[in-house]
Amino acid sequence: MKLTKLSLLILAAVSFFSCLVYEQELNIFNDGSASLNISYSIDNKTLTSLKDLDEAAKNSKGKSSIHYFDEKAIEEYLDSFLELKSHSVRVHKNSGRVHVDIKIEINNLREALNSGFIPYARLSKNEENWSFTYSTPYDFKNITKDESKKRIDQLEIEIVINTPSDIIASSNEKFSKRSVKWKYSPQDKTKASSMPNSFFVKFSGEKISFE
């Protein structure tokens, strides 16, 4: 069975819990290739709860979420994309948490995105510049219940995009020459409930090809 919600969409499966830590780094290279590193973890108690939900989903013929912590299932999902050069997956336990570390090498980022590798992500060219856009179908800002908002604000999320050329614009106004980061943490002023449902970065297209 394919995992159809790789990357940030995993939040939909575990956003009912407040212990998710999620980090994602995309490195884009000037030859059109890229690397994607994803790490996420939950505590052991939550994993047990997810297993219970998984069993209930099977009984009701619903969709499962536990596969995001199943090393074999993740490997099978990645194997289904010919655009990937290589990948590795490690699921391990440490300090009462279950960690998943995924490292992926992509032959051609544009082709991989066109094949649906990262849902809701696309790479497009506008005149002489390239834009990478990532969206999700979820909008945490629409959540108004205090209890739900507090739970979501416990999520820790970090997204980094490194570009092969100078960044011209980004949905995060604070960016360095070739890197931009979005971070949401219960310890910071910027919390997960304020996370937008779309991210973008525009960078110079000089000497860069995704053909």
Task: Give the DSSP per-residue string, 24-80.
Answer: EEEEE-TTS-EEEEEEEEEEHHHHHHHHHHHHHHHHTT----GGGG-HHHHHHHHHT
Classify residue 162: in a domain, yes or no. Answer: yes
Which residues fall within 8 angstroms of residue 110, CB to CB, at 6 or more apart? Answer: 32, 123, 210
- Please state whether beta strands 156-162 and 21-28 pair in parallel, antiparallel, or not at all (unpaired): parallel
Q: Given this model, what pLDDT does residue 1 score?
A: 39
Classify residue 165: in a domain, yes or no. Answer: yes
Beta-bridge partners for 95: none
The count of residues in the chain is 211
Classify residue 210: in a domain, yes or no. Answer: no
CB hemisphere CA count around 115 (13 angstroms)? 15
Classify residue 17: in a domain, yes or no. Answer: yes
Classify residue 209: in a domain, yes or no. Answer: no
Q: Given this model, what pLDDT does residue 52 score?
A: 57
Q: How far is Cα 19 from Cα 45, in angstroms, rounded to an integer?
A: 10
Classify residue 27: in a domain, yes or no. Answer: yes
Classify residue 58: in a domain, yes or no. Answer: yes
Q: Given this model, what pLDDT does residue 55 score?
A: 55
First to last CA, the chain: 31
Domain count, the chain: 1
* Per-block mean pLDDT, blocks of 10 residues, the chain (211 long): 48 57 93 94 76 51 61 88 93 91 95 87 90 80 78 86 96 95 91 86 88 72
141, 193 contact by CB (below 8 A): yes
Q: Given this model, what pLDDT does residue 54 score?
A: 54
Classify residue 2: in a domain, yes or no. Answer: no
Rg of the chain on CA atoms, in Å: 18
Range of the domain at 189: 7-204
Which residues fall within 8 angstroms of residue 36, CB to CB, at 6 or more apart? Answer: 24, 25, 26, 27, 102, 103, 104, 106, 118
Q: Given this model, what pLDDT does residue 170 score?
A: 96
